[in-house]
A and B are shown apart, each in its own frame.
Chain A
Amino acid sequence: MPLSRISQPGDRVSQPGDLAHDEAQEYLWTMNFGPQHPATHTTLRLVLKLDGERVVEAMPDIGYLHSGFEKLGEHLDYNQYVTITDRMNYISPMSNNVAWHLAVEKLIGIEVPRRCQYLRVIVAELSRISDHLLCVGAMGLDTGAFTHFLYAFNPREDLYDIFEALCGARFTNSYTRVGGLMYDASPEAIEMIRRFLDGFPRVLGDLRRMLDRNRIFIDRTKGIGLLSREEAINRSCSGPVARASGVTRDLRKDEPYLSYDDFDFQVCCATAGDCFARYLVRIAEMEESAKIVRQAIENLPSGPVNVGPGDRAILPEKRQVFSTIEGLISHFELVMSNRGFEVPVEEVYMATEAPNGELGFYIAGDGSQRAYRARCRPPSFIHFALFPYLIRGHNLSDVVAVLGSLNIIAAELDR
């Protein structure tokens, strides 16, 4: 794509025709950043107008990874689409799975058993840890602390092992199903989670000791990318970005879904609203997430993990299908294209607190087995819209610090 199309003067710094225009064009330097750049981490592009080292204006250009996920949502059924949600925020696919199926269950009107709720909380919080580890690690990497990145990546490996033990896939989990989960958690998986939690405080301590009082890191992040509380609300921010600016909004507390009101945890906030505050909030949230997982593991209810056959939502076990007539019938009822779930002709929105912010799905059901409209409210998209505002007036080297602190995942950005 030719650069001139983006940097064409329109509503930007200068208008063609005014006297200052030519001067300004000569004076300001335009720099292309991305789409393939190690510091963007994913595929996005920025066109920066520079005055020496200072960024006068940043123009994001996105859409490189647009793959029509919302269109696909209208052609895949409620269980199939979970594989697409894996690919949105692929750093924490489990929380996307949970968010999607919570929305579907809200539409259909199913309440999953408590064991399933607890297991979903566990996987959602583990994926929050995984997401935040990547975010703070990459933020360290971008600002020159390479070791920090490697220390953050080690526990992520353990988390992938846990996810593998839970559902067989490391990266694209697709763990949830309408009315339950793909598999119940095995005792081995629970033991792995327990071992992970035992080692996690030490990891977190290492990470904190490396950056919390690191002069270089603080110089590069403190006071950079300031976002006030009013602006954060006005610009639809959510999650750690909003909480670092003093917005005390956490859907796990404010609109407790699953069984979040059973757990004792704190909402981590900061008031500074700069990149360093966003780093601190993420670090603190990992600690709280580990606390939630610990409580959920210790109090994991027994009983079935999926809703019963009466709800006609989840496929019966193969043993039942092959040996009982009821199992065969309910299997048949679900897989036939003209049967399946009873979906009301209604529209719902269900929001969850994903690692990046409010991840919600707006589903319009039309009575069929496919969503009529499957809208995803992507936190990365909304946070990236902030970027030109946050970077204005800062230095070129601050671009990566701000990008890292927003944790933009381009697959979710473009969907």
Chain B
Amino acid sequence: MNPEPTVPAAPAGADTLSALEQVWGEIASSEFRGEVRVVVPRDQLFSLLKVLKEKLGFDLLVDITCVDYLHFRDARDRFGLVYLLANTENNRRITVRAFLNDPNPSAPSAVPLWKGANWLEREVWDMFGIRFEGHPDLRRILLPEEFTAFPLRKDYPLQGRGERHNFPVLRRAEG
């Protein structure tokens, strides 16, 4: 484990940020252990991702995930969407975050930019109930369609709410 990676991370991070600021303008950013993170309002999320992909070469969408900040210390927003991007040419990374709130948390879908976003967004919808507008096929992916809750939200108990016991049982004769 090396908190300061051997690839010169600190200047690289600063480079990424200044390059982004040249095309995008002022942006809220932070750095922790060599990771550059930027925060963007929900409305500008798609255009920022587009700029990052098309102008700055962040062509690989590593992951889309979400954090529910319900019980987080000093958190003001309910959900934080996290996009992890990487540049396959110079191996730089950037984390884009956008905060969403109840009711009806939703974000623009990134599928027009990356086809790989399809299942990742379906998983976020499945687990957190965040609707991705413009997604071609927003269905649950890991949980059955009958499921009504969003289990990775912090107000969902670890033990579940007994859904499992109420699943319809198919008997051999009926099936």
Task: Enumerate chain A interface residues (CB-CB to B < 8 A).
Answer: 1-2, 5, 10-11, 62-63, 66, 68, 70-72, 74-75, 101-102, 105-106, 109-112, 117, 231, 233-237, 247, 249, 254-258, 261, 345-349, 351, 358, 360, 362, 364, 366-367, 372-373, 375, 377, 381-382, 384-385, 389, 414-415
What is the chain A residue whose CB lies nearest that of B63?
A377
- Contact, CB under 8 Å: A236 / B114: yes
What is the chain B residue whose CB lies nearest that of A67?
B142
What is the chain A residue whose CB lies nearest that of B4?
A111
Bound form: Cα–Cα A74–B151 in Å:
12
- Contact, CB under 8 Å: B158 / A75: yes
What are 15 residue pairs bridging A and B, where the CB atoms are less than 8 Å apart in the complex? A10-B137, A110-B1, A234-B59, A235-B115, A256-B2, A256-B7, A257-B5, A347-B37, A349-B62, A349-B63, A364-B67, A367-B73, A382-B116, A385-B118, A385-B119
What is the chain A residue whose CB lies nearest that of B32?
A346
In the complex, what's the smallest C-beta–C-beta distance from B100 to chain A, in angstroms?
15
Specify which chain A residues have a CB less than 8 angstroms from the CB of B68 in the assembled complex.
Answer: 373
- Contact, CB under 8 Å: B88 / A360: no
Q: How large is the interface on B (under 10, 10 to 19, 20 to 34, 35 or more residues)?
A: 35 or more
- Contact, CB under 8 Å: A366 / B73: yes
Bound form: Cα–Cα A310–B35 in Å:
26
- Contact, CB under 8 Å: A234 / B114: yes
CB-contact partner of A349 in B3, B35, B61, B140, under 8 A: B35
Specify which chain B residues have a CB less than 8 angstroms from the CB of A360 in the assembled complex.
Answer: 62-63, 84
Specify which chain B residues have a CB less than 8 angstroms from the CB of A236 in the assembled complex.
Answer: 60-63, 114, 116-117, 120
B148 within 8 A of A: no
Bound form: Cα–Cα A348–B61 in Å:
17
In the complex, what's the smallest C-beta–C-beta distance from A208 to chain B, in angstroms?
30
Specify which chain A residues have a CB less than 8 angstroms from the CB of B95 in the assembled complex.
Answer: 349
- Contact, CB under 8 Å: B63 / A348: no
- Contact, CB under 8 Å: A233 / B88: yes
- Contact, CB under 8 Å: B145 / A256: no
Which chain B residues (133-175) contact chain A, with CB distance < 8 Å? 136-137, 140-145, 151-152, 156, 158, 170
- Contact, CB under 8 Å: B67 / A72: no
B72 within 8 A of A: yes
- Contact, CB under 8 Å: B141 / A62: yes
Task: Enumerate chain B interface residues (CB-CB to A < 8 A).
Answer: 1-3, 5-7, 32-33, 35, 37, 59-63, 65, 67-68, 72-73, 82, 84, 88, 91, 93, 95, 114-120, 123, 127, 136-137, 140-145, 151-152, 156, 158, 170
In the complex, what's the smallest C-beta–C-beta distance from A65 to chain B, in angstroms?
9
- Contact, CB under 8 Å: B158 / A362: no
What is the chain B residue whose CB lies nearest that of A72?
B158
- Contact, CB under 8 Å: B62 / A358: yes
CB-contact partner of A70 in B33, B118, B137, B152, under 8 A: B152
* 7 further contact pairs, Cβ within 8 A, besides A236-B117, A349-B84, A385-B119: A68-B151, A235-B114, A236-B120, A257-B2, A358-B62, A360-B63, A373-B67
Bound form: Cα–Cα A74–B154 in Å:
9
What is the chain B residue whose CB lies nearest that of A351?
B62
Q: Most B CB atoms within 10 A — which of A1, A105, A231, A257?
A: A1
Specify which chain A residues have a CB less than 8 angstroms from the CB of B151 in the assembled complex.
Answer: 68, 71
- Contact, CB under 8 Å: A414 / B116: no
- Contact, CB under 8 Å: B137 / A63: no
Q: Most B CB atoms within 10 A — which of A68, A105, A117, A349?
A: A349
Specify which chain B residues have a CB less than 8 angstroms from the CB of A5 in the assembled complex.
Answer: 145
Residues A63 and B62 in contact in the complex (CB < 8 Å), given A112-B1, A255-B5, A257-B2: no
- Contact, CB under 8 Å: A11 / B65: no
Q: Most B CB atoms within 10 A — which of A5, A106, A345?
A: A106
- Contact, CB under 8 Å: B144 / A1: yes
Bound form: Cα–Cα A190–B32 in Å:
37
Specify which chain A residues have a CB less than 8 angstroms from the CB of B141 in the assembled complex.
Answer: 62-63
- Contact, CB under 8 Å: A362 / B35: no
Residues A255 and B33 in contact in the complex (CB < 8 Å), given A66-B142, A70-B152, A111-B3: no
- Contact, CB under 8 Å: A385 / B116: yes
Bound form: Cα–Cα A31–B61 in Å:
33
